[in-house]
Amino acid sequence: MIVLLSDGDANADNSSHPDNMLAAEIANQCQQAVTAAQNAAKAGTWVYSIAFNSPTSGCSTDSGTYPGGLTKTACHTMAQIANIPGTSVNTYVNDPTKFYSDNAQGCQSTRNPSITAINSIFQSIGYSLSTGRLLPSACFAASPPSWC
């Protein structure tokens, strides 16, 4: 499992590299982040994303759109980063339930719109990783056993 907390606005430049040595890596930085998350999901890793103070603009290094015609913005990048492994080998599925946002700059999660506090977001992620279990009636007694 990966939990990525970011504003999603990839905006590195070549200012510290006057010989332009990073030019190839500078283009389409938001898409590079999405592709890395998709590759992690293809390898079997769940990827949660948390948009923290994420603008509904940004991704100035990118061109084109995301699936569904979504403009490449910081917010949409974070939504596209939320992925799970697909049902077939080496596939992934974008999973909106794995995307959270603090809604600070208008970036809102469509599946988790009411979970905006960082501690609540991490609690929700933790809860999603736990599995239910059936407890025996002894666990509900006045003095339950310590193993309950």
Per-residue pLDDT tens digits of the chain, which is 148 residues long: 999 999 999 887 766 666 666 666 788 999 999 999 999 999 999 999 999 999 999 999 898 899 889 899 999 999 999 999 999 999 999 999 999 999 999 999 999 999 999 999 999 999 998 877 677 787 788 888 777 6
Q: Is residue 118 part of a domain?
A: yes
What per-residue confidence (pLDDT) applies to 21? 63
Q: How far apart are CA 105 and CA 97, in angstroms?
A: 20
For the whole model, what pTM was predicted?
0.83
Q: Is residue 147 part of a domain?
A: no
Q: Of the candidates 90, 115, 94, 6, which has an alpha carbon nearest to the alpha carbon of residue 47?
A: 94
The answer to whether residue 148 sits within a structural domain is no
| Largest interatomic CA distance in the chain | 73
DSSP 30-57: HHHHHHHHHHHHHTT--EEEEESS-BSS
Domain with 61, as residue range(s), is 2-140
* Residue 146 in domain: no
Say if 40 falls within a structural domain. Answer: yes
Q: Please check whether residue 66 is in contact with residue 34, taking contact to mean a CB–CB distance below 8 angstroms.
A: yes
Domain assignment present for residue 145? The answer is no
pLDDT at 16: 66
Phi-psi region of 51 (alpha: psi -120 to 50; beta: other; left: phi over 0): beta
Length of the chain: 148
Q: Which residues contact 21 (CB under 8 A, 6 or more apart)?
A: 14
Count of structural domains, the chain: 1
Q: Looking up tokens 């998709």, which residue turns up?
A: 38
